[in-house]
Structure 1
Amino acid sequence: MPPLLLSVGLASLLATVHALDNGLGHTPRLAFSTWNFFGTGATESEVHDIAASLERTGLKALGFDTINIDAGSLDRDRTTGRLVASSRFPSGLRNLSDWLHGAGFHFGAYNDISGHTCGNGPAAGSLGHYEADAVTFAHEWQVDYLKVDFCGVEMPGTPPENCTGVVGRSCGTVPVESAGQYAHWSALSTALNKTGRPIYLDLCPHAIADGVGTEVPKGKLMYAPPKEWTLSQRRALANSLLVEYDNTWDAWIYKQTSGLIFNIDAMVQATTLSFSGPGHWNYADMLQMCAYGKGVTPGGGMTLNEYRVHYSVWSILASPLVIGADIRSLEKDHPDCLTLLKNAAIVAVSQDPAALPPRLVSQTPPLRSAEATTLTITSQTFARPLSRGRLAVLLLNRGQKTAKLSASWAELGLAVGLRVHVFDVIAQSAAGTATDSFQANVPSHDVAFVILEPEAGAPPLHRVVR
Structure 2
Amino acid sequence: MKKHFFWIVLTFFFMNVQAQKFDQLAQTPPMGWNSWNKFGCDVSEALIMEIADEMVRSGMKDAGYEYVVIDDCWQIGRDEDGEIIIDKERFPNGIKYLADYLHSKGLKLGIYSCAGKYTCAGRPGSRGYEFQDARTYARWGIDYLKYDWCYTTNEDAQSASSSIEHAISSYTTMSDALYAAGRPVVFSICEWGFQKPWKWAGEVGHLWRTYHDIKDRWAAVLEILDKQKGLEKYAGPGHWNDPDMLEVGNGGMTTEEYKAHFSLWCMLAAPLMAGNDIRDMSPEIKEILTNKELISINQDSLGSQGFCFLSSGDYEIWIKKLKNNERAICLFNRGEEIKNVRVDFENLLKVNSTYWKMEPHKLEDYIVRDLWEHKDLSVETNVKYIEIPPHSVKVFRYIHK
Q: Same fold (TM over 0.5)?
A: yes
Supply the AA of the counterpart residue of 1:144: D
Deviation at 1:405, TM superposition (A): 3.1
Matched-pair contact (CA < 8 Å) for 1:97–1:141? yes
Residue 159 in structure 1 maps to residue 137 in structure 2: no
Q: Given the alignment of the two structures, is residue 440 of structure 1 paired with residue 386 of structure 2, yes or no? A: yes
Report the equivalent of 1:305.
256
Q: How does 1:7-406 map onto structure 2 within 5 Å?
A: 15=16, 17=18, 20-87=21-88, 88-121=90-123, 124-138=124-138, 140-154=139-153, 159=155, 177-205=163-191, 223-224=192-193, 226-227=195-196, 230=199, 233-244=200-211, 246-253=212-219, 259-268=220-229, 272-292=231-251, 301-330=252-281, 334-365=282-313, 378-406=314-342
Cα offset for 1:264?
A: 1.0
Provide the secondary structure at the position in 1 that maps to 2:284: helix
CA positional deviation for 1:327: 0.8
How far does the alpha carbon of each residue in 1:388-445 deviate from its partner, in whole angstroms, 9 at most, with x for none? Answer: 2111100110011111235545562345974342101111221123655565211100
Residues 208-249 of structure 1 show CA distances to partners (whole Å, capped at 9, x for unaligned) of: xxxxxxxxxxxxxxx11623863xx321111110122x3211
Q: Which segment drifts farther, 414-423 or 178-187? A: 414-423
CA shift for structure 1 position 114: 1.0
Instruction: Judge conservation of contact 1:274–1:358 (CA < 8 Å) in 2.
Output: no
Is 1:68–1:109's contact at 8 Å kept on the other side of the alignment? yes
Q: Which amino acid aligns with 2:105?
A: A
Paired residue type of 1:179: E
Amino acid in the other structure paired with 1:290: G
Measured after TM superposition, the shift of residue 76 of structure 1 is 2.8
Q: Which amino acid aligns with 1:447?
A: V
**Offset, 1:159:** 2.7
Q: CA deviation at 1:13?
A: 8.5
CA pair 18-432 structure 1, distance change in 2 beyond 3 A:
farther
**One-letter amino acid matched to 2:73:** G
Separation (CA, whole Å) in 1 of partners of 2:57 and 2:361:
48
AA partner of residue 135 (structure 1): R
- Provide the rounded CA distance (Å) in 1 between the counterparts of 2:174 and 2:143: 16
For 2:342 and 2:25, locate their aligned partners in 1 and report how far apart those are by CA, in whole Å.
36
Unaligned runs of 5+ in 1: 1-10, 162-174, 206-222, 254-258, 293-300, 366-377, 457-466
Aligned-pair distance for 1:453? 2.9
Which amino acid letter does the alignment assign opposite residue 85 of structure 1?
I
Please tell me the root mean square deviation across aligned C-alpha atoms, in Å: 2.4
Taking structure 1 as the reference length, what is the TM-score of the superposition? 0.76
Q: Which residue of 2 aligns with 1:214?
A: none
How far has the Cα of 1:190 moved from its partner? 1.1
Contact 2:248–2:276 at 8 Å: present in 1 too? yes
TM-score (norm 2): 0.88
Letter aligned with residue 151 of structure 1:
C
8 Å Cα contact 2:197/2:208 also seen in 1: no
Label 1:361 to 1:85 Cα distance change in 2 as closer, same or farther (>3 A).
Answer: same
Secondary structure of 1:383's counterpart equals strand
Other-structure match for 1:460: none
- Once residues 307 and 175 of structure 2 are traced to their aligned partners in structure 1, the CA distance between those partners, rounded to angstroms, is 28
- Name the SS for the 1:395 alignment partner: strand
Give secondary structure in 2 for the equivalent of 1:433: coil
Q: Identify unmatched segments of 5+ residues in structure 2.
A: 1-11, 352-357
Paired residues of 2:114 and 2:148 also in contact (CA < 8 A): yes
Partner of 2:371: 425
The whole-number CA distance in structure 2 between the counterparts of 1:73 and 1:434 is 57
Q: Which amino acid aligns with 1:237?
A: V
2:197 & 2:181 partners in 1: Cα distance?
29
Q: Which has the higher helix share?
A: 2
Q: Render the CA deviation track for 1:72-125: whole Å, top value 9, x for unaligned.
A: 11233241211121231111111111111112210110000111101221xx21
CA distance in 2, matches of 1:185, 1:70: 18
The answer on whether the counterparts of 1:417 and 1:435 sit within 8 Å (CA) in structure 2 is no
Distance between the aligned counterparts of 1:316 and 1:424, measured in 2?
14
Helix, strand or coil at the partner of 2:41: helix
Higher mean alpha-carbon deviation, 82-91 vs 441-450, is at: 82-91
